[in-house]
């Protein structure tokens, strides 16, 4: 049996100091819904758990001002229920509502949600399967194996695992930033830069240094937009996205003045469909323009043996999401 230390600091500063002291063997624990899961599978084998649940400042939720502020410890269920998010930022509340189950959302934190790890079965179940993310240099069983759920954007020869979360996809469309605390103080990172492409090092998944933790997520973009998070999955609830689209639109005098489109379930990181966004500017939203934007969003997809269907499904998901958002404009 492996020895496991447990610490429960009450300030962010104390958590950083404990993280620094413990080094690579330490893991931050928020809701524990991913961390404990991965410990049971021997994917995560920490020597020290730093439970951040007693740090009150990380639970701040303030959506009243021009900047939406979410402490890293805010529970998914609380943010999903927030009246302003539901009314003015449905893309954010829908992404949370459509994730996991009510029990999990009651427990799971927003910071932990951003940092959840892939659901690739080879990664989770380990030996005898090769997995560069779990055992760097061992290969990738998914490339020649069951890859129906895998990525069609952002993959490499080393890894094609999808990023599984929903909230980060919605936040990406809203140009969110994350506040990061570490030994050197606080830094702020665009959410777009938090998750790293796998390249040759799929085991390195985020831009966080080992001694850092996420303290907050902010959306400094108060412009109201018609928005939605459209999630397609194998069953209607309690399932990860096969394909998802976060869409936010601003329509002025009948024409699209601003379009945001982000994609989930299809890429190794939350994915922005910039070409499709630019294509829509100045156009009227019709089923035809929406379908064309969907097609553009999936240009350049690199499919595998079992997941070519994601290209058409994804294009239709984006088109449907645009029309759903457009009806709210
Ligand atoms: C059956 C099931 C279905 C699910 N379905 C979905 C779904 O459809 N959509 C979806 O988006 N998610 C889904 N999830 C994932 C779930 O949302 C995550 O497990 C949860 O959000 C993680 O939050 P947590 O607070 O429990 O994180 P933890 O398990 O505590 O931590 C997760 C990871 O983040 C790190 N961490 C946590 N907080 C911080 C911080 N502040 N700073 C730095 N590191 C931190 C931990 O060290 C760990 O590596 C599902 C999970 C399960 C078990
Ligand atoms: S896709 Fe990535 S996580 Fe899955 S087996 Fe290959 S290397 Fe491992």
pLDDT digits (tens, 9 = 90+) for 208-249: 998 999 999 999 875 667 999 999 999 988 899 999 999 999
From the CA of 157, which ligand is nearest?
Answer: 2
**Distances 80 to 90, 114, 174, 290, 313 between C-alpha atoms, Å:** 9, 15, 16, 27, 26
Per-residue pLDDT tens over the stretch 256-313: 999 999 999 999 999 999 999 999 999 999 999 999 999 999 999 999 999 999 999 9
Say whether pLDDT at 179 is over 90: yes
State residue 278's pLDDT score.
98
Distance CA 278, CA 2 (A): 53
Q: Are 80 and 96 in contact (CB under 8 A)?
A: yes
Instruction: Give me the sheet containing 48-51, strands edge to edge.
Output: 5-7, 48-51, 26-29
Q: Which residue of 123, 136, 201 sits with most ligand 2 atoms within 8 Å of its CB, as the best mutation to test the pocket? A: 123
Q: Are 6 and 22 in contact (CB under 8 A)?
A: no
Is any atom of ligand 2 closer than 6 Å to the C-beta of 202?
yes
Distance CA 25, CA 4 (A): 10
From the CA of 232, which ligand is nearest?
Answer: 1
Say whether pLDDT at 10 is over 90: yes
* pTM for the full predicted model: 0.98
Classify the C-alpha dihedral 45-122-199-229 as positive or negative. negative
CATH classification code of 226-328: 3.30.390.50
State residue 238's pLDDT score.
87
Task: Using DSSP, state whether 80 is helix, strand or coil.
Answer: helix
Ligand 1 atom with minimal separation from the 167 CA: 11
Is any atom of ligand 2 closer than 6 Å to the C-beta of 160?
yes
Chain centre distance of CA 83: 22
Which tokens hold the place of 237? 């609830």
pLDDT above 90 coverage of the chain, percent: 92
Query: What are the start-end ranges of the H helices in the chain?
Result: 12-22, 35-40, 76-81, 83-88, 90-97, 102-107, 110-114, 121-125, 141-144, 167-173, 274-280, 287-297, 309-328
Is any atom of ligand 1 closer than 6 Å to the C-beta of 297?
no
Q: Are 285 and 250 in contact (CB under 8 A)?
A: no
State residue 21's pLDDT score.
87
Ligand 1 atom 37: the closest Cα is on which residue? 112
Q: Phi and psi for 245 in degrees, rounded to 5? A: -135, 125
State residue 236's pLDDT score.
83
Ligand 1 atom 47: the closest Cα is on which residue? 28
Say whether pLDDT at 325 is over 70: yes
Among 33, 6, 40, 69, smallest CA distance to 214 is for 69
State residue 126's pLDDT score.
87
Q: Distance, CA 120 to ligand 2 centroid (Å)? A: 6
Ligand 2 atom 8: the closest Cα is on which residue? 131
Q: Which residue of 129, 131, 163, 197 sits with most ligand 2 atoms within 8 Å of its CB, as the best mutation to test the pocket? A: 131
Over residues 36-49, mean pLDDT: 94
Ligand 2 atom with minimal separation from the 158 CA: 7
Beta pairing partners, 189: 178
Provide the residue ranges of all domains of the chain, joining segments of one domain with +: 226-328
Over residues 41-52, mean pLDDT: 95
Distance CA 26, CA 48 (A): 5
Ligand 1 atom 32: the closest Cα is on which residue? 112
Q: Distance, CA 216 to ligand 1 centroid (Å)? A: 15
State residue 224's pLDDT score.
60
Task: Assess whether the previous peptide bond of 163 is cis (omega < 30° from 0).
Answer: no
Q: Phi and psi for 33 in degrees, rounded to 5? A: -75, -25
Say whether pLDDT at 13 is over 90: yes
Q: Distance, CA 77 to ligand 1 centroid (Å)? A: 13
Say whether pLDDT at 329 is over 90: no
């Amino acid at each position: 049996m492996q020895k496991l230390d447990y610490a429960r600091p009450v300030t962010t500063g104390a958590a950083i100091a404990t993280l620094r002291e413990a080094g690579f063997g330490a893991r931050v624990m928020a809701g524990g819904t991913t961390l404990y899961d991965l410990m049971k599978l021997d994917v995560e084998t920490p020597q020290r758990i730093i439970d951040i649940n007693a740090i009150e400042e990380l639970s701040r939720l303030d959506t009243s001002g021009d900047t939406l502020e979410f402490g890293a410890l805010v529970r998914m269920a609380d943010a999903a229920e927030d009246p302003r998010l539901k009314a003015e930022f449905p893309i954010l509340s829908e992404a949370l509502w459509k994730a996991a189950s009510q029990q999990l959302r009651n427990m799971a934190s927003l910071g932990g949600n951003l940092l959840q790890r892939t659901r690739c079965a080879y990664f989770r179940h380990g030996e005898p399967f090769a997995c560069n993310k779990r055992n760097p240099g061992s290969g990738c069983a998914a490339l020649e194996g069951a890859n129906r759920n895998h990525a069609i954007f952002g993959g490499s020869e080393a890894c094609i695992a999808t990023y599984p979360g929903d909230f980060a996809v919605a936040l990406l469309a809203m140009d969110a930033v994350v506040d990061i605390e570490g030994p050197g103080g606080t830094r702020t990172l665009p959410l777009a830069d938090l998750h790293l492409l796998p390249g040759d090092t799929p085991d390195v998944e985020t831009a966080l240094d080992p001694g850092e933790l996420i303290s907050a997520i902010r959306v400094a973009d108060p412009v109201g937009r018609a928005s939605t998070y459209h999630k397609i999955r194998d069953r209607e609830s309690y399932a990860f996205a096969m394909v998802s689209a976060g869409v936010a639109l601003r329509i002025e005098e009948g024409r699209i003045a601003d379009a945001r489109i982000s994609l989930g379930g299809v890429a190794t990181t939350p994915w922005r469909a910039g070409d499709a966004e630019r294509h829509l500017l100045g156009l009227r939203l019709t089923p035809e323009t929406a379908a064309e934007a969907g097609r553009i969003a999936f240009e350049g997809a690199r499919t595998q043996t079992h997941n070519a269907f994601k290209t058409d499904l994804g294009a239709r998901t984006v088109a449907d999401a645009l029309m759903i958002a457009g009806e709210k404009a």
